[in-house]
Amino acid sequence: MRSFLRQALASFAGLALFFALGMGGAIALLVGIASRDTGPQVESGTILRFDLSSQIRETEPPTTLGRALTDDGPPVLTVRQATEAIEAAAQDDRIAGLWLAGNRGGGNDSGYAALQEVRQALQAFRESGKPIVAADSDWSEKEYYLGSVADRIAIAPVGSLEWNGFSNQQAFFAGALERLGIGIQVIRVGDYKSAVEPLTRQGYSPQNRQQTQALLGDLWNEFRSAVGQSRDLSEQRLQAIADERGTLLPEQAREAGLIDQVAYRDRVRARLQTISGSTEPESFPHLGLSAYAQAPVVAERQRDANNQIALIRADGPIVSGEGTLQTIGSERLVGQLRDLRQDEAVEAIVLRLNTPGGSAVASEAIWRQLKLARERKPVVVSMGNTAASGGYWIATGGSTILAQPTTVTGSIGVFGLLPNLQNLANDNGVTVETIETAELADITTVARPKTERELAVYQQQVERIYDRFLQRVARSRELSRERVAQLARGRVWSGRAAQQRGLVDRLGGVDAAIKTAAQAAELGQDWAVRVYPEQRSLEQRILEALLGQTELALELPLERRLMGQAWRRWRPEAAVLATLNDPHGAYARLPFKLQIE
C-alpha cells in the first residue's frame, strides 16, 4: 500500500511539474512572439482598409485571452488610435488610398461624437489628395455617416441603405416592479431629471419627451448637414428621403444621390487595385487600420519633446472608491490627477470625459482635484459621446471645456432612489419588526416605505447637493445663478446647444483639446502627449489574461442560448444599478441608457 501511495504521489508530482513547465513555456513562447513583433510591414501602394463595423471607444476594452491572440469579432480602436492612424496615413507616401469596407456584419454601437471625430480625420485624409473608396452591401446609418466622406460609394446589387432618422427607445419597469411587490420612492431636483423615470413610470413624462425630441433633432441635424455637404444634397432633400423611403434599394440609393454605383465586390477591388498601382492579378497590398495603428510611422508621431501634455481618459459611470475598468472610480482618478498635478514634467492636462454621470460625492471629489490641478497648470476638458450630469459637474473644474456638436451633456440635476421590499416580503410570508432608540434610527431600511418626515430629510440632502452643483456651474461658466437655474433643471443638451448657451467654451474633439492645452501652456511645438491609463503592449495583455491580472470579459455561449433576446437587450440598463454606490444615495446622472438608433 505504501509503495502504491509513493508511486501515486510521484506520478502526481510529475504531472504537476509537467503542466507547470508546459504553461511556463507556453507563456514564454507567446510573449517572445509578441515581443519580436515590430509592427506591420507597409509596402508601397498599400490600400489602408477601415472596417466600418469597427467599434470606436474611448479606452481599450477589458482584456480577454481570445482577443489578445485572435482577430475574433470587429476591430476595437480608441478614438485617438483611429484618428492618429488616419492622419499618419495621409502623410505616408506608401499609403495610396483608403478603403472603407462593410460586409462584416454586426451592428456598430459607437457613439456619434466619437464617429464625428473619426469622420473629421477621414475628411482631412480626402483633402490631402488621396482617394477614398467606400463599399458595403447593407449600409447602416452609422456606417454611411463615415462612408459618405468617400470620393466613390458603392453598394452591392442585392443590398440596401438605411436612411430613416434617429430614434430613442426606453424601457419602463414600473409595472413590473409593482407586480413583484417592489416599491420605489423618488427624491429629485429638476423637472427634466428623467433618470428615475424607468423605475417610476410606464412612459415618457412630457418634460422628458420634450428634451429627448430636441436632443435627437440636434443630432439628426448635424448628421444631415455633414452628409449633405459631402454628397451635395440639401438637408430638405435628405429629410424627404427619410420620411418617404426609410430603406432604399441599390438603384433607389443611386438615383437619390446617396451612392455612386451599384457594384459587386470584385469591381470594387479592381478599382482599388488601380489606385494601388499593383500589377499582380486581382491582388493589391492592403492593411487594416487597427494593424496600421501599431506601425512605427504612427508611433513616431509621438515625438520626443521637452514638454509633456497628459491625456487622461475617464470612461463609464462615476462611482465612489477605486471602481473597475468599466467605471470611473473617484479614488483612482483623484490619485492620477494628484500625481499629474505634482509632476513638474507635465505642463498641461487634458481630461477626456465619456460618462453619463453617477455618484454626486465622487463627482465632487474629482472636481476638487481638477480645480487644484488647474491652479498650477492648464486643465482642458474634452467631452466624448456623453459628459452629462456628474460628468458635467467634473468638467466645471477645468480651465476650458470642449465638446463635439453631437456630445450629450448638461443634465444639471440630482436624484435619489429609495426602494422598499415590504409588499414583496409580505406576499411571501415575511414580516419585519424594528426596535428603535430614535424616530429616524431605521431611516435607511428597505423593509418599508419612507415616512413623510424621512422623505423630507432625504429631499433636504438632495436640494443641498443641487445647490452646490449650481454654484459650481455658475462660478466656472461666469453665469448668474439664476441663469444657470434656467439652464439646469436636469435638462440634457447637445454639445452645440450647450456651447450656444455658455455651458461649453467651444466645439472640437480631443485633438483640438490637446492643441488648446498646448497653447494655454505656451509650449509652441515642443510638446508630446502621454496617455493615461497607458496602453498595454500585446505581450502585457497576453500575460495579464493568462495570469489573471486583469478583468476577463468572458462571453459564455451557454448564456447566449439560455437568455432570451429581450433580456440581453435590457440587461445593460439593469446592470446600471450595480454602479449606484453613493454614500448619501444622491446621483447626478443621465437616464439608465440613452441609446440613439
Catalytic residue list contains 193: yes
User: Cα–Cα–Cα angle for 511, 320, 399, nearest 5°?
Assistant: 35
Q: How far is CA 146 from the centre of its chain?
A: 17
How many Cα atoms sit within 13 Å of 130 on the Cβ side? 26
Instruction: Please name which of 110, 121, 122 lies closest in space to residue 386, comparing C-alpha atoms.
Output: 110
Contact 141, 101 (CB under 8 A): no
Distance CA 358, CA 327 (A): 10
DSSP type of residue 317? -
**CA of 517: how far to CAs of 82, 167, 216, 500, 520, in Å?**
21, 36, 31, 22, 5
Three-class secondary structure of residue 246 per DSSP? strand
For residue 75, say if its preceding peptide bond is cis, omega within 30 degrees of 0: no
Instruction: Please name which of 70, 84, 89 lies closest in space to residue 538, comparing C-alpha atoms.
Output: 70
User: Cα–Cα–Cα angle for 590, 594, 595, nearest 5°?
Assistant: 165
Contact 90, 577 (CB under 8 A): no
Distance CA 588, CA 241 (A): 39
Distance CA 423, CA 447 (A): 9
User: Cα–Cα–Cα angle for 373, 375, 381, nearest 5°?
Assistant: 55
Q: What are the grid coordinates assigned to 31, written together? A: 510573449
Three-class secondary structure of residue 244 per DSSP? helix
Catalytic residue among 160, 276, 278, 389: 389
Catalytic residue among 53, 142, 148, 193: 193
Q: What are the grid coordinates assigned to 582, written together? A: 453613493
Catalytic residue list contains 142: no
Cβ contacts of 495 within 8 Å, gap of 6 or more: 113, 383, 403, 404, 405, 406, 407, 408, 409, 504, 507
Distance CA 184, CA 422 (A): 11
Distance CA 212, CA 203 (A): 13
Residues annotated as part of the active site: 193, 389
